[in-house]
Structure 1
Amino acid sequence: MEIIKDVVCPFCGTLCDDIECYVEGNHIIGTKNACRIGYSKFTHREGSTRHTGPLMRENKKDDFKKVDWDTAIEKAAEILVNAKKPLIYGFSATECHAHVYGIELAEKVKGVVSNTAEVCHGPSVWALQDVGYPICTLGEVKNRADVVIYWGCNPMHAHPRHMSRYGVFSRGFFRERGRNDRTLIVVDPRKTDTAKLADVHLQVEPHKDYELISAMRAALKGFELKGEKIAGIPVETIYEAIDVLKNAQFGNLFFGMGVTQSGSKHRNIDNAIELIIDLNAHTKFTLIPMRGHYNVNGFNQVCTWISGYPLCVDYSSGSPIFNPGDTSVTDLLMRREADAMLNLASDPGAHFPQKAVERMVEIPLIVMEPHQTPTTELANIILPPAIAGVECGGTAYRMDGVPIALKKVIDPPEDVMSDKEILKRMMDKVKELL
């Protein structure tokens, strides 16, 4: 048995880089340090739902038939070239080199390219473009923070090792006692497993985050809050929470989809960033979005380098256009403007609005996915890639924007290529057809 150390877990935006994998006969038979979800990602790479070769069908009511790679890639290229408004979507569970080829492919076929941030942290990205981004690294939180806020997120379930590696339980340079040196504030309408650990639980009413943030900013600036409760929280509790924040030596706000996808959307994040800026008049405070997929942040970085915009980029005019709500993949599907789609490293069939999924059923759909998913059930072509971070290397960006090199642990199934290689071959075929 071979033990491979310092492996990066390709599941969530925490990108834990201390995993040990136990390998025997090109199979990962166990892990050390990984959470349950990470363990599953490494050890359940195979199974009965794993595709190991391209599949095609003309009619979505027909059964899939096995084909060779050349045939499948040529047909996929033809679909994209012949479409008037092709969509290329996903990217958040693969490495950055694949992002580069996917964005270039979208430009070549004059399509629209975007990633899963549309339905999770897209509002965070739009807000930071409006009012800035007072961010720090997770290492700084671990070593310095004595006050930690989790707002609209539940890391105990969604990012299982986040609190122990970087949040309230970790022992840092200036926080040697870990949890005993920190105050934990959780803002959530529900009493989640994370909220049960909190020193202060602000049980805000659903969709009242903007109202609560505004009240906190007003209290911070010395204004009197009217009424007994604001956003379902007693005014006295809001004042007490503000005192904790003002007296922090170093504080950090982690925020999740409970804020980005509730009422007011990106305006919630605008206001939260302004709250952090206001707090910096009293002490040192930062914020970090709790990004979900392990490389959802990476796509936004790469897309910005290439196009100037983080997501929802429309190349149909020959130049990149960015206008979320108009150039977003979900809206183009629901308006029935899209006439073909390439999906990779995501599962929109399980998460998109029903009208968007209905349109995906109607148009030619190419799916790059190693396993059977709700999205592969809607596909015309399935191109199964190697699993990045397990069967091939690459680069991913942690939730705090730090790039980390993924490690190849085992070989992929025979004749299975990486996302990058598949997209490169598709790009070469598109160039021949144009």
Structure 2
Amino acid sequence: MSKIITDVVCPFCGTLCDDLEVKVSDDGSKIEEVYNACVIGTEKFLHSQATDRLTVPMKKDDAGEWHETSMNDAVEYTAQMLANAKKPLMYGWSSTSCEAQSIGHEIAELCGAVVDNTATVCHGTTLIAVQDVGVPSCTLGEVKNRADRIIFWGCNPAHAHPRHMSRYSIFPRGFFTGKGHKARKMIVVDPRKTDTAGMADIHMQIEQGRDYELLSALRVAVRGAPLPETVAGIPREIIQDAADTLKSGRFVVIFFGMGVTQSLSKNHNIDMAIMLTKDLNEHTKAAIMPMRGHYNVTGSGEVMGWQFGYPFSIDLSRGFARYNPGDSSSNDLLRRGEVDAVFVLGSDPGAHFPFSSVKKIWDLPSVCVEPHYTPTTAVSKLHVPVAFVGVEVGGCAYRMDAVPIHCRKVAEPPEGVLTDEEFLKLVLARVKEIKGVA
């Protein structure tokens, strides 16, 4: 016999689709079907059933060979590593629950660690820009029900957020957008002809790295001032047409991704995009929103904000929180050799950090808490397998629009496999014993 669990949240991307239905066996041991999810979201659920899944911690010996170890030994190694390090790095946190993040931050505070999340290599520049100039934003529900002018700048939701356009931004029929995509105009700014660009009413094929200039030109066009013949490879007529299209809408929303945040000018690009949004508000209603990748990277910034006052790159080594991206960022610390241990949970720096940083992880005492085999687990000294958050354990996550959503448990983890939260609680208790903290 089987049962279907409804209203399941997908723990893949920042869209956090909450309309999935999952068919499971009566005892919850097997996921049989996943309905309504995109291909990637479906694979996230089904991958938890992999027959070659690691279920016991693995530790490297001095010769670099992997051996099974007990969970008690894994907790002891992790606690000793963090407690005895002068300045450990605790990185990741974007693919786990807010509850686990909070416990991890408590460990970081006790150990004088640097705690950082994946925003440091994606939307950290966005957070810096928001601190500079503020942000006029909204929820995805407002986008669905009200927005009739959509910009996708430096992002490709057709591949990275597969249900974003069908659930919220382009195709759905909302309360005030009853004609769906027929009543919306879509502008894509991207140097490549992506699948998202192929659906656009206007594709502005910008020259690589010249987002700041084009954003400035759009601000000029919105204000009705004269433009040069071309800006960033885009003819004046197309820029003016895009500005007029935006001004004629009832509600404009700018979605932007790493094509803007990690290109030349970094946070200044986002400063200019936010100011463009403010300029548009002189003519119509406008909002702006980052396309966050990991399903709970937004939540990680929120939890760090509650506990320390800053959203990423937080240095606790002096006994209080210091925030100085570029100095207290993970890659900078690793490349300068300023940390002496690395703890990774809920991310994969081995796949996304520069080689020089990954080599430091290889050289240092390191722990990776991760359900999968990944490039990071390969370079770490200890790999601790845990349950899949949002599949085998519930927990809170924040959608890309900063709306908190509770993820549901739909299946049982393999016997003996702990959750992130359970493992971190054991490590916290042991660190307190080592540090002599009540």
- Report the TM-score when normalising by structure 2: 0.97
Q: CA deviation at 1:146?
A: 0.7
Residue 297 of structure 1 aligns to which amino acid in structure 2?
T
Query: What is the rounded CA distance, in whole Å, between the counterparts of 1:36 and 1:411 in structure 2?
Result: 22
Residue 208 of structure 1 aligns to which amino acid in structure 2?
R
Q: Which residue of 1 aligns with 2:258?
A: 257
**Equivalent residues in 2 for 1:270-281, closer than 5 Å:** 270-281=271-282
Uncovered stretches (5+) of structure 1, i.e. residues with no partner: none
Residue 246 of structure 1 aligns to which amino acid in structure 2?
K
Query: What is the rounded CA distance, in whole Å, between the counterparts of 1:50 and 1:338 in structure 2?
Result: 31
- Relative to structure 2, which stretch is displaced further, 24-33 or 132-141? 24-33
Q: Which residue of 1 aligns with 2:53?
A: 50
- Residues 61 and 67, structure 2, Cα contact 8 Å, conserved in 1: no
Q: CA deviation at 1:49?
A: 4.6
Per the alignment, in what secondary structure is the counterpart of residue 166 of structure 1?
helix
Query: What is the rounded CA distance, in whole Å, between the counterparts of 1:185 and 1:232 in structure 2?
Result: 16
Query: What is the rounded CA distance, in whole Å, between the counterparts of 2:50 and 2:201 in structure 1?
Result: 43
177, 180, 190: which is aligned to 1:178? 180
Task: Find out whether 1:118 has 2:120 as its counterpart.
Answer: yes
Task: Find out whether 1:194 has 2:219 as its counterpart.
Answer: no
Q: CA deviation at 1:58?
A: 3.4
Runs of 4+ displaced beyond 6 Å: none
Q: Which residue of 2 aligns with 1:40?
A: 43
Query: What is the rounded CA distance, in whole Å, between the counterparts of 1:258 and 1:162 in structure 2?
Result: 18
- Residues 145 and 252, structure 1, Cα contact 8 Å, conserved in 2: yes
Deviations 1:39-58 (A, max 9, x none): 10011113255211112123
- Residues 49 and 371, structure 1, Cα contact 8 Å, conserved in 2: no
The alignment's C-alpha RMSD in Å is 0.9
Q: Which residue of 2 aligns with 1:96?
A: 98
Query: What is the rounded CA distance, in whole Å, between the counterparts of 2:201 and 2:353 in structure 1?
Result: 36
Per the alignment, in what secondary structure is the counterpart of residue 142 of structure 1?
helix
Q: Which residue of 2 aligns with 1:216?
A: 218
- Relative to structure 2, which stretch is displaced further, 259-268 or 40-49? 40-49
Task: Find out whether 1:366 has 2:367 as its counterpart.
Answer: yes
Query: What is the rounded CA distance, in whole Å, between the counterparts of 2:52 and 2:247 in structure 1?
Result: 52
Q: CA deviation at 1:66?
A: 1.4
Query: What is the rounded CA distance, in whole Å, between the counterparts of 1:49 and 1:366 in structure 2?
Result: 21
Residue 138 of structure 1 aligns to which amino acid in structure 2?
L
Per the alignment, in what secondary structure is the counterpart of residue 184 of structure 1?
strand
How many residue pairs get matched?
A: 432
**Equivalent residues in 2 for 1:4-403, closer than 5 Å:** 4-24=5-25, 26-59=29-62, 61-226=63-228, 228-403=229-404
Q: CA deviation at 1:31?
A: 0.8
Query: What is the rounded CA distance, in whole Å, between the counterparts of 1:341 and 1:315 in structure 2?
Result: 15
Residue 393 of structure 2 aligns to which amino acid in structure 1?
C
- Residues 93 and 346, structure 2, Cα contact 8 Å, conserved in 1: yes
Deviations 1:260-298 (A, max 9, x none): 011111110011000001110111000111000000000
Per the alignment, in what secondary structure is the counterpart of residue 288 of structure 1?
strand
- Residues 85 and 338, structure 1, Cα contact 8 Å, conserved in 2: yes
Uncovered stretches (5+) of structure 2, i.e. residues with no partner: none
Per the alignment, in what secondary structure is the counterpart of residue 300 of structure 2?
helix
Query: What is the rounded CA distance, in whole Å, between the counterparts of 1:105 and 1:71 in structure 2?
Result: 18
- Residues 30 and 49, structure 2, Cα contact 8 Å, conserved in 1: no
Per the alignment, in what secondary structure is the counterpart of residue 375 of structure 1?
helix
Q: Which residue of 1 aligns with 2:410?
A: 409
Query: What is the rounded CA distance, in whole Å, between the counterparts of 1:15 and 1:2 in structure 2?
Result: 23
- Residues 188 and 195, structure 1, Cα contact 8 Å, conserved in 2: yes
Per the alignment, in what secondary structure is the counterpart of residue 299 of structure 1?
helix
Q: CA deviation at 1:373?
A: 0.6
Per the alignment, in what secondary structure is the counterpart of residue 21 of structure 2?
strand
- Residues 110 and 318, structure 1, Cα contact 8 Å, conserved in 2: yes
Q: CA deviation at 1:62?
A: 2.3
Per the alignment, in what secondary structure is the counterpart of residue 342 of structure 2?
strand
